[in-house]
């Protein structure tokens, strides 16, 4: 067994490295800088934590968020690793003490806020202690193009230059376009780094888009299907956050909220309630999430459509970091598009960029919004749509998204043909609303003044629901039969594939709207390996241990570990090591409690 494997099993209790982890670790151990792009939940932290334990000396982890540091350090300590953090949450005395211990070499890993790097005290420590590696977490914060730019990240190369010996540097991020990757390489001064971009697919996430008539009802229905689970509901405005929070509160859900309009103290309290488990549901704006490492988030609902797929995938990706099944539901509404357009075109007073730069940004963002909207309308596999957007090849049928599962196909070729004729006959100058008005025989001033009631298609589809027609129009757009123009008043014109449908060479199929019941069936059924009653008891033991130690439950054991335990039903501490997530330290610290729980359970059932 090689060294990495041995540490993996002993300290972290895992059996195998995940895809992409080993090459990163091996390069770092060989002394080569690394730039690693991995989707959220893929297991970035282990990529530096494990080599840190294999190297002599100390590893510094530069991390932008205090909450994240605290989390990671607690998790490490509960794996028996000597770790600490240095940031503004410590009092002066605590900080001085931690720095002294660090200088004495008591810690293997030290998490540090970027602002600390050029403070005299820290520099003195760093110069006097052997530092083998610097891992830069959320490395995209160095890029001035991103939304998460942190000027203090730019100090990192200066800091490295001040060290007696340059340590190997690893940069880690979940979001990086080629430009941002370049920024990271330059901004951090990486030396011919080994670059690795891991697959973006998150196979345990189930994606669904719904366009409900009433989002509130849809949300409540969804939550009832996910009783007892922890999740995030993202809204686009503070006002929506407050409204949805109130809605859920009235319906007696254990809910809390987060947005930039709240006092820091309330934000901190609410975040903690969510992470530590006293409030299972977090309703928040996109201000919430970065640095939240809670691995057992079982669903992420978007109450509003975000502005681009980058944001969507990042936010939705906060579900299921533990690798267990989780659901990402997007509740789409046409109004979301308008709101986003407005926000994109808004010009900040402080924005002193040139008119040209402003226009360039707007048109780039509008294009992204278009792709996001396309995701909401597409009949194609949702996972494939996302992956293709990020430049990966993806086949069309994942079998694990709302579009691949459930819902009968309905032949709508006739509707499609008539709609195309309507666009053609009316001169390719109207938007969706007007086209629908024509085919349903609408009787408005516009219809008469443009003489649209004289068209052959006028009223041909009277009685068909507007929603259905809108869905078919969107299908026609996504199939290239129609093109929707840009601008404030988009109109429909015929696309190059229109002829295929008009002349009967291509049929059109629309997925029939799922009923509430169908929706449920379409979602993944969590494998119920294991014993549910025992699982509940094991969770209770975990909760007690977590409270005693003042840490989130998942720091003790993940849901996945407990599930395996409930299936294996270990009655001796030694058996625990067969379970993923149980390393040496956790076995010795908590083993007895869990084994006792299993034994008692079996006795009561008369099986022991
Ligand atoms: P990221 O930082 O990439 O979002 P994390 O480092 O938080 O992801 O890892 C996500 C989860 O996966 C954590 O609970 C972590 O312990 C777990 N994990 C990471 N690597 C492995 C592995 N090789 N085997 C099993 N679980 C792993
Ligand atoms: Zn799919």
Write down the pLDDT at residue 348.
Answer: 77
Q: Residue 409: its pLDDT value, please?
A: 65
Binning pLDDT at 50, 70 and 90, where does residue 79 land? very high
- Residue 113 predicted with pLDDT over 70: yes
Q: For the domain covering 205-389, report its CATH number.
A: 3.40.50.300
Ligand closest to the CA atom of residue 40:
1
- Answer with the residue of higher pLDDT: 189 or 292: 189
CB 419 within 8 A of CB 476: yes
Run of H or E including 114: none
3-class secondary structure, 606: coil
- Total-model pTM: 0.68
Residue (of 85, 94, 12) closest to 53 by Cα position: 12
Give the three-state DSSP class for 366.
Answer: helix
pLDDT band of 523, cuts 50, 70, 90: low
Check if the beta carbon of residue 41 is closer than 8 Å to that of residue 317.
Answer: yes
Looking at ligand 1, which residue's alpha carbon is closest to its atom 23?
17
Pick the range with the lowest mean pLDDT from 123-137, 235-249, 485-499, 592-606: 485-499
Closest of 349, 401, 411, 356 to residue 378, by C-alpha: 401
Per-residue pLDDT band for 135 (boundaries 50, 70, 90) equals very high
| Arithmetic mean of pLDDT, 212-237 | 93
What three-state secondary structure class fits 199?
A: coil
pLDDT for res 512? 64
The CA–CA distances, whole Å, from 553 to 75, 219, 254, 265, 608 equal 10, 27, 17, 23, 28
Mutational pocket test of ligand 1: of 8, 13, 43, 557, the residue with most ligand atoms within 8 Å of the beta carbon: 43
pLDDT in tens, 469-490: 988 898 888 778 999 888 778 8
Q: Which ligand is nearest to the CA of 382?
A: 2
CATH 1.10.150.80 range(s) for the chain read: 532-604
DSSP string, 575-598: GGGGSTT--HHHHHHHHHHHHHHH
Report how far ligand 1's centroid is from the alpha carbon of 210 (Å): 30
What confidence tier does 513 reach under pLDDT thresholds 50, 70, 90? Answer: low
State residue 357's pLDDT score.
Answer: 83
Q: From the CA of 151, how far away is ligand 2's center (Å)?
A: 40
Task: Domain 3-197: state its class.
Answer: alpha beta
* Chain segment 99-110, per-residue pLDDT in tens: 999 999 999 999
E strands within 474-555? Answer: 482-484, 492-494, 509-511
What confidence tier does 355 reach under pLDDT thresholds 50, 70, 90? Answer: confident
* 321 ligand 1 Cβ < 6 A: yes
Minimum CA distance residue for ligand 1 atom 14:
322
Determine the residue of 45, 170, 553 to mutate for testing ligand 1's pocket, defined as the one with the most ligand atoms within 8 A of the Cβ atom. 45
pLDDT digits (tens, 9 = 90+) for 160-186: 999 999 999 999 998 767 788 899 999
- 322 touches ligand 1 (CB under 6 Å): yes
* Minimum CA distance residue for ligand 1 atom 18: 43
Beta strands in 63-157 (DSSP E): 83-86, 109-112, 131-136
Structural contact between residues 284 and 234, judged by C-beta atoms closer than 8 angstroms: yes
Closest ligand to C-alpha of residue 400 is 2
The yes or no reply on domain 532-604 and CATH 1.10.150.80 is yes
Report the chain's mean pLDDT, rounded to a whole number: 89
Nearest-5° Cα angle at 204, 203 to 206 = 95
193-202, 365-374, 513-522: least confidently modelled range: 513-522
- Work out the number of other CB atoms within 10 angstroms of the CB of residue 211: 18
Q: Top-level CATH class of 409-511?
A: mainly alpha
Distance CA(319)–CA(206), nearest Å, equals 10
Q: Tokens in use for 304? A: 């509003």
Kindly tell me the burial class for residue 505, based on how many C-beta atoms sit within 10 Å of its own C-beta (0-12, 13-18, 19 or more). Answer: exposed
Return the ligand 1 atom nearest residue 40 CA.
4
């Amino acid at each position: 067994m090689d060294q990495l494997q041995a540490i993996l099993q002993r300290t972290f209790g895992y059996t195998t490295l995940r895809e992409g982890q080993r090459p990163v670790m091996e390069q770092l151990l060989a002394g080569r800088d690394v730039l690693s792009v991995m989707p959220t939940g893929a297991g970035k932290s282990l990529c530096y934590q494990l080599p840190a334990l294999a190297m002599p000396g100390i590893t510094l982890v530069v991390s932008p968020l205090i909450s994240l540091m605290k989390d990671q350090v607690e998790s490490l300590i509960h794996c028996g690793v000597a770790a600490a953090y240095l940031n503004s949450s410590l009092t002066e005395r605590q900080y001085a003490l931690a720095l002294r211990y660090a200088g004495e070499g008591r810690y293997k890993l030290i998490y540090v806020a970027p602002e600390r790097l050029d403070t005299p005290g820290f520099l003195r420590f760093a110069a006097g202690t052997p530092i083998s590696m610097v891992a830069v977490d959320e490395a995209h914060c160095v890029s001035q193009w991103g939304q998460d730019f942190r000027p203090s990240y730019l100090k990192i190369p200066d800091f490295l230059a001040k060290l007696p010996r340059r340590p190997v540097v690893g940069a880690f991020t979940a979001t990086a376009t080629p430009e941002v990757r370049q920024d990271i390489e330059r901004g951090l001064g990486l030396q011919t780094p080994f670059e690795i971009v891991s697959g973006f697919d998150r196979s345990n996430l189930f994606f669904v888009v719904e366009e409900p008539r009433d989002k509130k009802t849809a949300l409540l229905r969804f939550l009832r299907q996910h009783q007892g689970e922890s999740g995030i509901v993202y809204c686009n405005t503070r006002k929506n956050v407050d409204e949805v929070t109130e809605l859920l509160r009235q319906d007696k859900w254990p809910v809390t909220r987060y947005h930039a309009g709240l006092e820091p103290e309330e934000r901190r309290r609410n975040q903690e309630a969510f992470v530590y488990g006293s409030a299972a549901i977090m309703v928040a704006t996109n201000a919430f999430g970065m640095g939240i490492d809670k691995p057992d988030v079982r669903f992420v609902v978007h109450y509003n459509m975000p502005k681009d797929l980058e944001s969507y995938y990042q936010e939705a990706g906060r579900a299921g970091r533990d690798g267990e099944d989780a659901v990402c539901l997007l509740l789409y509404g046409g109004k979301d598009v308008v709101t986003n357009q407005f926000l994109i075109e808004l010009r900040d007073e402080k924005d002193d960029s040139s008119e040209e730069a402003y226009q360039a940004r707007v048109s780039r963002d509008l294009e992204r919004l278009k792709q996001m909207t396309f995701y909401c309308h597409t009949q194609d596999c949702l996972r494939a749509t996302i992956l293709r957007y990020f430049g990966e090849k993806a086949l069309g049928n994942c079998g694990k998204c709302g579009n691949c599962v459930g819902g009968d196909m309905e032949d709508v070729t006739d509707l499609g043909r008539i709609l195309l004729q309507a666009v053609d006959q009316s001169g390719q100058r109207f938007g969706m609303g007007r086209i629908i008005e024509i085919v349903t025989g609408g009787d408005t001033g516009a219809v008469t003044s443009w003489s649209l009631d004289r068209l052959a298609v006028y009223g041909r589809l009277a009685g068909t629901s507007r929603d259905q027609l809108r869905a078919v129009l969107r299908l026609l757009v996504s199939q290239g039969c129609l093109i929707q123009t840009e601008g404030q008043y988009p109109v429909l014109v015929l696309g190059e594939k229109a002829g295929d449908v008009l002349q009967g060479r291509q049929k059109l199929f629309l997925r029939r709207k799922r009923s509430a019941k169908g929706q449920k069936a379409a979602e993944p059924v969590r494998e119920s390996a294991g014993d549910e009653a025992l699982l509940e008891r094991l969770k209770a033991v975990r909760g007690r241990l977590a409270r005693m130690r003042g840490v989130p439950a998942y720091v003790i054991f993940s849901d996945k570990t407990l599930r395996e335990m409930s299936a294996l039903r270990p009655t001796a501490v030694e058996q625990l090591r067969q379970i993923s997530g149980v390393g040496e330290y956790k076995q010795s610290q908590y083993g007895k409690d869990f084994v006792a729980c299993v034994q008692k359970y079996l006795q009561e059932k008369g099986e022991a």
